[in-house]
Structure 1
Amino acid sequence: MAFKLPSINRLFNYVVSTIKRFPFEFLFALAGTWSAVSLSSSYLYGYVTDQWYARTLMMAAIGMPLSLAVSLYKIHKGWPDSRLRSLRYIAAGAAVSFLFIFKPEVYPQHYIHFALLFIAMHLLVSFAAFTGKGNTLAFWHFNKTIFIRLLTGLLYSLVLGAGLSAAFGVVDNIFGVNLNWNYLRYIWILIFGLFNTLFFLAGIPEQMQNADAVGNYPKGLKFFSQYILIPLASIYLAILLAYEVKILVEWTLPKGLVSALILGYAGLGLLAMLLVYPLRDQEGNGWIRVYSRYFYMFLLPLVVLLILAVTKRIDSYGITQYRYFLIVLAAWLLFLIGYFLFYKKATIKAIPISLFLIIMLIIYGPQSATTVSLNSQRAILLNLFAREKLVKQGKLMPVDERKVKPYTAVRMASTLDYILKRYDFQALQPLLGINLEQQENTLRKSWQNNTNIVFDEDSFKIYRTNWVQSYLKLGGYEYRQQYSEEQLENELNTNYYIHTKEALLNLKGYDYMLVKETYADTVSIDTVSGYLIRQGDSFEYDSMILNIGKNKFNFLVTDLAKQIMKQTENLKPYEDQSTPQGLDKRYLLPQKMLRLSQTKSGITVMAQVQEMSFDYTKKYGVRVNSVRAYYFIKFNK
């Protein structure tokens, strides 16, 4: 039998028929692809900003599976096309509304909302056509079909993308066409955005309720489940049970890593359970029945261990979004254990349906992940400040690093950093005695007036974060989270960056000016007024040594650094307001405050420091890191 390639007309009709079956799904895929191409372009800018491109992409990623779920639900109900169109319009309108609801550039928590909705909509696709009782085998067969279709589409897309990339490179190099390589990126986006989507949609069966006759179980899937997935899950189980025995013997609390291992085992185990579901009652597969029966029994002690591991972290550091999700997943696993162990009519449809309902429950509202974690972290931050008596009328007061223990300050800074990175700026409003909406507008104007670069939201967020850290005097502490309490007490370093306010140097009263060598070990020799002048006899930055003839002028920079440290309270008018203070202190000082002078054998030398950096730790004291200075020399008559 001769192999025939499909005609262009047949392919075209194939694509058209798929679009007719799933018109809204195709439109969402088209909008998402267009947005992805626009975001990946370095020069395609229309009337829409990058923010709107990102929102459109997020909207399309939700709208496509939501529309598909509606189409599948119509097949399940057997509705006429007129009724389907109405439901499709409602679903499309709900998806488009997220174009205006999502504002991740302003509210970072919207990324979490999007991720949860994205997962929920794909779960909805898995059971939308099987919301009634029974039809469990049809449900399994349908999801097996679309799962294999998805993997096949990804394989085809990768091969097609690799082939076109090779052709692109050949044309560019051999024929010297000098193609724009940005187009190659667009090709990959089009392949995964349109080709892969249409291929997947074309493989969705038109009839699903008659799929109870599963037919031959795919040999490749059986091999994967029997010899790879279940043994891998068993290895996870053995490790975790051994670790649980170790905890009971040593009577110690579990480590945080165990959470990922337990979820890994639960995920692999549930996937294995779903894949081998049709085989559980067949002869010769008794081991599958045993695995299915005891999987949930072995899972129960591991879920208890998961809850202990999470609650240990919550007791110490409060609820974060990640810990909230762990608690929710633990509750969901407990539900599945009870459901499959004690309910005689249990069905595997309960797995995606229950997870979908839980996800929808925790996206918005007072019980949502973002709300609960934000309230917890604000309470932690308020409690840390209250312990140090830095709360006045419910508002946080600036930290004095001389009175607050370093470990406490690091806890404050890390909690503050968590809130600022995952929530909008005004999430701190209940804790600060400043109108943050007005302050943000002021900072935005200041940023635009004082910078020459094009405004972008990410850079402004850093500028805004610096302001909060400066306001509470917590700058620099957030980078020390990995230090132990003992290390923080003895080795926490305060960094000082000193600059002069004046750029011009006044030579009046002196005969010569000499630039200090930048590097301490650089030797330079010069001659002036019959004297040999030599630099480079110091191999450290702690001192600046200048030899004029037989006279040695040694300026101890550490003494100058210590003087600056003693005057910290008096230097507030000179603080660099563009950066947070805290552990990273920046000052713009007058030149007269950065002078060292010595007179020997009728020669006066004044060292004018223009810029210096040093740090201080309780263990090592002052350490100078760099100095930029000038020598002013006067030969007295």
Structure 2
Amino acid sequence: MNLPSLQFIREKALETFGRFPFALLSAIIGTGAVLVLSQENFTDRASYHWLYNAWLAGFLGISLFVLAQLRAETAQLSRGQWLSLNLSVAVVLLAYITVLPSSIIHAPMVHLFRFLFFAAAAHFFVAVVPFAKTGPPQGFWEFNKSIFLRFLSACLYTHVLYLGLAVAMLAVDQLFSVNIAGRRYVQLWWFLVGVFNTWFFLSGVPQDVRTIGDRLQYPKGLKVFTQYVLIPLVVVYLAILYAYMFKIVIEWDWPKGWVGYLVLGFSTTGILSLLLVHPIKDSLENRWLAIVTQKFYLAIIPPAILLLLAIWRRVAEYGLTENRYIVIVLGCWLLYAALYFTFSRGKSIKMIPISLGVLALAASVGPWGASSVSRVDQVGRLDELLTANRILADGKITPVKDTLPFDVTRQISSIVRYIVDVHGVEPLQPWFSVRLDSIQSDARYRSLATRDVSTKIVSLFGLNYVNEWERYPAKGKRWVPGPKISFIMDQSTIGLSGDQFVVGPVHFTDDEDSVQFRADNSEWMIVNQPERSTISFVRTGQAAERVEFPLSDLLRRLVRAHHSSTTVYKPADSLILVQSSARTRIRLIVRSIDVRDDTSKTGMLKMDFDAYVKMK
């Protein structure tokens, strides 16, 4: 086989750009935005917030411009009509940028969900738009087989190229002391994925889709892979699901929530397998594939019902969210697809991308959309909880004076955290006279900022925020519903010197715990003693010794300096503790620590740290 010459590669690249100029320009713009963002330090990225919007619009524009190009080729539009169509897509993308929040990284997650719905719909429509009205199923299958294999090839080439170039950069760095920054590897990956991968993929998109069905080619390797790998996997998944259904019937118990993801994964694998063998399933030597296809869709009806029962239980307990909305929609679609391919006479495989594209587009906007339905449901659940506990009356908040049960407080905190994270503070505003959008957080990271705002809103209810992962204390311990402060070490470089042993990261809570490690041919144990506010390093064996770190002074100092705060970034030197014995010096690097905000009784709630052990 002859390798392509540089001239051929150049000509093919120019030909691809001539066919998909807008899609490639969109990829270059989106990739350029990512490269600039990865160049800047995290603290400086707020000045470039508009680049995040360009990033999203750029990558969304790739599929939209490809969609426009395929539509223009199928309809045989004139040059002027082609230009008008692509300019219309450009206007839509510019409008999309303007409706996005000015700082998307700190905006509610609802905008990211909409982006994902738009992107999914565009990809599904790309698969079907050349054959939306006419065209034999063989042409539809051949077109999608070609772009599917081209996508896999593009991913393989891209990552092999990245691996090779990354190793070359590392070699130059180590051999010639060039000191290549770590972010250059990240930028290289984004450039290859955003530009090279897109260019390579688009160069393999079939051109004459009207006659593509006349040159149907079925790869033998694809047949072997599908028949002997994918279909057996589907059978295994199906056996597991049916065994689980029998277990539910025998024990008369509700299905577990995560079974929905198993059903969706199994069904996706099965449908993909059957689509891959679709052209040959009716041939005489492969009649068994037609039987498998019919029986498969009939067999997934019970698992689809199981999925809907499992997600219905989750929604009944915890309410509706975007993720559960997606699972419900996909479960209903799966049931519809099973009934369609089992009982319909037409059985057109075009139904799959068309219906999924329509569902993705419908779920992105409108009162029936995922975000709208989820917001209404969760605000309603919070309304019921607050009203039942006399915090909300006549549409206004009255702070509660008594301590509510732990589970109720945690449930209220969880719902508020979800609403603030996904939808912002606007849905809660009607209950307050104070402007909730004035509540600010100094946290750099979005998750911490969301928690800070949620903590402050929950405090307006007269409650103390409880994390979703927190559990009621064990028997013999009392739940103290006091506020807390999170202290986080500012990013810094901590140098190592001499023969040091690094232990970590270590995670301790307010329960007694211990961690073992080995250093200098000796066994060590790190012991957490929350009642004494002490962390001890104990060396066992003949060279036994004990190095203790009292935390009381550190905790009191932090609380006094930052009383009533929620998240505080501290310089590295203020969260480094040093203790020594006759033979050992230990530095405790506190990465983060949650402290009870109570000047009368401070206490560590959660702590993450590294330990640097040096033998003298």
TM-score for both structures, normalised by structure 2: 0.76
Aligned residues: 507
- AA partner of residue 434 (structure 1): S
In 1: Cα distance, 2:326 partner to 2:90 partner: 29
Indicate if the aligned counterparts of 2:416 and 2:454 stay in contact, CA closer than 8 A: no
Q: Tell me what 1:93 maps to.
A: 91
Q: Does 1:428 align with 2:428?
A: yes
1:579-590 mapped onto 2 (5 Å cutoff): 579=566, 586-587=597-598
Q: CA-to-partner distance for each residue in 1:281-312, whole Å, 9 max, x for gaps? A: 11221221111111111111111111111111
Q: What's the CA shift for 1:159?
A: 1.5
Q: Aligned residue for 1:533?
A: none
CA distance in 2, matches of 1:479, 1:44: 28
Q: Indicate the residue corresponding to 2:17 in structure 1.
A: 19
Asked if 2 retains the 8 angstrom alpha-carbon contact of 1:29 and 1:64, the reply is yes
1:221: how far off? 1.1
Deviation at 1:480, TM superposition (A): 4.6
1:360 equivalent in structure 2: 361
Could you tell me which residue of structure 1 aligns to residue 346 of structure 2? Answer: 345
* Equivalence for 2:555: none
Measured at CA, do residues 540 and 114 of structure 1 come closer, stay the same or move farther in structure 2, by a change above 3 Å? Answer: closer
Aligned-pair CA distance for 1:481: 5.1
SS of equivalent to 2:602: strand
Match of 2:202 in 1: 201
The aligned counterpart of 2:461 is 472
Q: Is 1:440 matched up with 2:434?
A: no
C-alpha contact (below 8 Å) 2:391/2:461 kept by paired residues: no
Verify the 8 A CA contact 1:417 1:478 in the aligned structure 2: no
User: Equivalent residue for 1:277?
Assistant: 278
Correspondence for 2:416: 416
Secondary structure class of the residue paired with 1:173: helix
Is the contact between residue 256 and residue 310 of structure 2 (CA under 8 Å) also seen in structure 1? yes
- The residue aligned with 1:492 is 479
Equivalent position to 1:60, from 35, 53, 58: 58
Structure 2 distance, partners of 1:148, 1:202, is 13
Letter of the structure 2 residue corresponding to residue 170 of structure 1: A
Distance in structure 1 (CA, Å) of the matches to 2:174 and 2:122 = 44
Please state how far the C-alpha of 1:461 moved relative to its aligned partner.
4.1
Instruction: Tell me what 1:135 maps to.
Output: 136
Alignment-derived partner of residue 6 in structure 1: 5
1:614 Cα offset (Å): 4.4
Contact 1:137/1:278, CA 8 A, preserved across alignment: yes
Code of the aligned partner of 1:141: E
CA distance in 2, matches of 1:15, 1:261: 41
Residue 373 (structure 2) aligns with: 372
Match of 1:212, SS state, is helix
Is the Cα–Cα contact under 8 Å of residues 440 and 464 in structure 1 kept in the other structure? Answer: no
Aligned partners of 1:414, 1:275: CA distance in 2, in Å? 43
Q: Report the counterpart of residue 233 of structure 1 in structure 2.
A: 234
What is the CA distance between 1:615 and its match in structure 2?
8.8
2: CA distance, partners of 1:150 / 1:497: 49
Render the CA deviation track for 1:85-121: whole Å, top value 9, x for unaligned: 1111111211222212222332321011111111111
Partner Cα separation in structure 2 for residue 540 and residue 323 of structure 1: 42
Q: Any conservation in 1 of the 2:263–2:304 contact (CA below 8 Å)?
A: yes
Residue-by-residue CA offset, 1:588-631 (whole Å, 9 max, x unaligned): 6xxxxx7xxxxxxxxxxxxxxxxx51499xxxxxxxxxxxxxxx
Alignment partners' CA distance in 1, 2:470 and 2:531: 30
Q: Is the 8 A contact 1:116 1:359 kept in 2?
A: yes
Partner of 1:627: none
Q: Secondary structure at the match of 1:221?
A: helix
Q: Name which one, 1 or 2, has greater alpha-carbon Rg.
A: 1
Counterpart CA distance in 2 for 1:615 and 1:86 is: 63
8 A contact 1:126–1:143 mirrored in 2: yes
Matched-pair contact (CA < 8 Å) for 1:33–1:189: yes
Q: Any unmatched runs of 5+ in structure 1?
A: 499-537, 543-573, 589-593, 595-611, 617-637
Cα deviation digits, residues 476-501 of structure 1 (max 9, x gap): 42245555xx9699653445779xxx
Q: Are residue 578 (structure 1) and residue 565 (structure 2) matched?
A: yes
- One-letter identity of the residue aligned with 2:365: Y
The one-letter amino acid paired with 2:362 is L
Which of 28, 31, 48 does residue 30 from structure 1 map onto?
28
Q: Whole-Å Cα distance in 1 between the matches of residues 234 and 446 of structure 2?
A: 44
Structure 2: 5+ residue stretches without partners: 486-528, 534-560, 568-593, 606-616
Q: Deviations over 1:189-237 (max 9, x none)?
A: 2211111111111111210121223544112211111111111111111
What's the CA shift for 1:375?
0.8
Per-residue deviation, 1:408? 1.6
| Alpha carbons of structure 1 residues 44 and 217: separation in structure 2 relative to 1, 3 Å | same
What is the Cα-based RMSD across aligned positions, in Å? Answer: 3.1
What is the rounded CA distance, in whole Å, between the counterparts of 1:67 and 1:114 in structure 2?
16
Secondary structure in 2 matching 1:213: helix
Partner of 2:407: 407
1:16-415 → structure 2 map (5 Å cutoff): 16-42=14-40, 49-103=47-101, 104=104, 105-402=106-403, 404-415=404-415
User: 2:197 & 2:274 partners in 1: Cα distance?
Assistant: 28
Taking structure 1 as reference, are residues 107 and 44 closer, same or farther at Cα in structure 2, changes over 3 Å only? closer
Q: 2: distance between equivalents of 1:288 and 1:102?
A: 48
Question: Cα gap change, 1:305/1:51 in structure 2, threshold over 3 Å: closer, same or farther?
Answer: same
Amino acid of the structure 2 residue aligned with 1:464: V
CA distance in 2, matches of 1:394, 1:93: 42
The secondary structure found in structure 2 opposite 1:477 is coil
Instruction: Provide the rounded CA distance (Å) in 2 between the counterparts of 1:253 and 1:400.
Output: 38
